[in-house]
Amino acid sequence: MPPQGIAQVLRHLPKVDDPNLLVGTETHDDAGVYRLTDDLAIVQTIDFFPPVVDDPFIYGQIAAANALSDVYAMGGAPRTALNLVGYPDDKESLDWLGEILRGGAERCQAAGAVVVGGHTVRDAEIKFGLAVTGIVHPQKIITNATARPGDKLVLTKALGTGFITTAHRNGACPEDVFQAACASMIQLNDIGRDAMLHAGAHAATDITGFGLAGHALEMAEGSKASLVINLSALPLLPGAQPLARRPFFTRASATNASYVADNLRIEGKPDSNRIEFFYDPQTSGGLLISVSADKADGLVAEAKDRGGSAACIVGEVIERDGPALILKA
């Protein structure tokens, strides 16, 4: 569903009046957080989608990494997961389904989480994902609504998975480019979480279906600040730029652009190819982290040391200056 549609749906939900609900739906954050004790809160999230790659094991890995990412974005640690599966039952063999589940289990094990069960339904299209429960200290939650003017913005993964996976489905993506994208999507965002917690980051969100544009807007709106993004600083997956063209735009690219249009000011004349990465929907993308300017370089260095080779500073947070988003060419 486009982000505008989700916002309309959420408006109709009854207001929750529970002092233990620490993070709900108000700021469109990555996961819900509920306090159990003074020292323990649970982080809950759910995510699933159709295959973005043909290999069932890799698809399972990507879907699991994507779902686990929401817990990492809140500063939490995943603990349990439930498989969510939609599958067509008109196949002679379901071995491929076992490979999907095996891929998901591998990523959960790497994350230190335990798969405790799940649910399957018949569906015309394959779908897979996880419902994940994590833990976090109630005083150490990272949300998308607490970015501070003066902060720098760090992005921990390169952009372009939407273009690459679409081109691959159309038989037009070089194999090395596709493999680089798969490696990025499989990579867990514990790399960014650990680096941001060590740096004392103020806010974070993970970049997924709404693209950098949509998730940055939600951070800006929640924080009542403006986010300035430097287009030339955005890290791109190797080989992705030639694929940022028709027919490899997804429908979500257009809806993401429409979602932010009324809250976006573009300064300068942006490269028409490169700006598409601002809107490109990501699968299992990186974390966008708001951190004190004097801690940003250290955060980037630590993320790179942990394996996040694309981590870099992509912008800054300023006092609200007209639009919520400012894109500098």
| DSSP characters over 91-133 | SS--HHHHHHHHHHHHHHHHHT-EEEEEEEEE-SS-EEEEEEE
DSSP 132-199: EEEEE-TTS---SS---TTEEEEE-S-B-HHHHHHHHHTT-S-HHHHHHHHHHHHS-THHHHHHHHHH
State percent of the chain over pLDDT 70: 95
**How does pLDDT run across 86-136, given as a tens digit for each residue?**
998 776 678 899 999 999 999 999 999 999 999 999 998 999 999 999 999
255-272: b or e for each residue (b if 16 or more CB lie within 10 Å)?
bbbebbeebbeeeeebee
Q: Give the Cβ contact number of residue 240 at 10 Å.
A: 24
Of the candidates 141, 101, 147, the one whose C-alpha atom is nearest the C-alpha of residue 120 is 101
pTM: 0.93
pLDDT at 2 over 60: no
120-136: b or e for each residue (b if 16 or more CB lie within 10 Å)?
eeeeeebbbbbbbbbbb
105 and 5 in contact (C-beta within 8 Å)? Answer: no
Q: How confident is the model at residue 8 (pLDDT cuts 50, 70, 90)?
A: low
DSSP 256-281: HHHHHGGGEEEES---TTTTHHHHPP
**How does pLDDT run across 184-207, given as a tens digit for each residue?**
999 999 999 999 999 999 999 999
User: What are the CA-CA distances from residue 289 to residues 212, 219, 240, 245, 298 (Å)?
Assistant: 12, 10, 23, 28, 13
63 and 104 in contact (C-beta within 8 Å)? Answer: yes
Please give the Cα distance from 53 to 45 (Å, whole number). 23
191 and 307 in contact (C-beta within 8 Å)? Answer: yes
pLDDT number for residue 301: 98
pLDDT number for residue 79: 98
pLDDT at 224 over 80: yes
Q: What is the mean pLDDT of residues 305-320?
A: 97
Please give the Cα distance from 279 to 252 (Å, whole number). 8
Q: How confident is the model at residue 244 (pLDDT cuts 50, 70, 90)?
A: very high
Mean of the per-residue pLDDT values of the chain: 94
pLDDT at 145 over 60: yes
Cis bond before residue 247 (omega within 30° of 0)? yes
